Amino acid sequence: MPYQLRFFAGRVNGRLKNFRLSSYLFIKRALDIAVAASLLLFLAPLILVISILIRLDSPGSAIFAQERVGTRVRVRNGSKVWELRPFTVYKFRTMRQDAKNDIHKEFVQAFIRNDSAKMELLQNGKGKKGVYKLVNDTRVTRVGKVLRKTSLDELPQLWNVLIGDMSLVGPRPALAYEVDVYTPQHLRRLEAQPGLTGLWQVSARSSVDFDKMVDLDTWYIENQSLWLDLKILFMTPLAVLRGKGAA
């Protein structure tokens, strides 16, 4: 189903459920603002140091901006409505400034289609068993490899959280060329605001195929709660330290 889809809705049964959802979304947003603002202030020295190291390592800006597919959740007349819209996500630049995304587009679309032969071909025989992502990518800089391994490249997305494009917890934001090849089942993972971390990141990361990733995102969406969000947030540092699937 193409990315031209702009919104879709699901029924919320009963006023109590409607009230609980609205309350959860309100508290979730308040938590996002408080935590993102605090972390941006606390981590400002680290963000500055990383920015300098990136600039010293290779020419180009320290920040990489990319269009992603975002979702805003609303409750209207007893229905949940997910409005799909593009937004700009920010990351520390981990690749050379002149790097092309053609190979990544091919790999991601092969990953979504579970085309193992195509993924293996694009890895040039350098892939790692059980890791569903491009590894030994020659486009990645020396500093970029460290940032990706430690997930520090994601820190600028705290700004996305603060301004409301993303949440602290939710499915990872999709690229437009991913959504272009989604099946109706895959679209289920767009039924929540994209997150900085999520159930997939703390339990599997790049060690499972795309359908399993969608299953994890869907389970989170169907079981969203403040307690689950807090649990995922507390599990995130441990997942980063383990480095599972972070090749």
pLDDT tens, 9-38? 444 444 446 667 778 889 999 999 999 999
Task: Give the model's confidence band at 137: pLDDT under 50 very low, under 70 low, under 90 confident, else very high.
Answer: confident
Instruction: Give the span between the Cα atoms of 192 and 173, in whole angstroms.
Output: 10
**Residue 117 placed within a domain:** no
Residue 92 in 3-state DSSP?
strand
Decide if 49 is inside a domain. Answer: yes
The CA distance from 23 to 28, in Å, is: 8
What is the count of structural domains for the chain? Answer: 1
The residue with greater pLDDT, 79 or 83, is 83
CB 173 within 8 A of CB 70: yes
Contact 131, 192 (CB under 8 A): no
pLDDT bin (cut points 50, 70, 90) of residue 112 is confident
Burial class (CB in 10 A: 0-12, 13-18, 19+), 14: exposed
Q: Which of 74-78, 184-188, 200-204, 241-245 has the highest mean pLDDT?
A: 184-188
Q: In which domain, by residue range, is 42 found?
A: 7-99+139-242
Say if residue 124's pLDDT is above 80: no
Per-range mean pLDDT, top range of 131-135, 147-151, 239-243: 147-151
pLDDT-based confidence at residue 46 (cuts at 50, 70, 90) = very high
The predicted model gives 61-77 an average pLDDT of 82
Q: What is the pTM of this model?
A: 0.83
Residue 148: inside a domain: yes
Looking at residue 83, its amino acid is E
Alpha-carbon span 168 to 94, nearest angstrom:
22
**Looking at the domain assignment, is residue 105 inside a domain?**
no
Does 191 reside within a domain?
yes
Q: Please answer whether residues 196 and 167 qualify as being in contact, where contact means their C-beta atoms are separated by less than 8 angstroms.
A: yes
Q: Is residue 158, in this structure, part of any structural domain at all? A: yes
In a domain, residue 2? The reply is: no
- Report H helices in the chain: 15-42, 44-57, 102-112, 116-122, 142-150, 157-163, 176-179, 199-203, 210-222, 226-242
Residue 65's pLDDT is 94
Q: Which of 44-48, 102-106, 215-219 has the highest mean pLDDT?
A: 44-48
Q: Is 131 domain-assigned?
A: no
Give me the percent of the chain exceeding a pLDDT of 70. Answer: 80
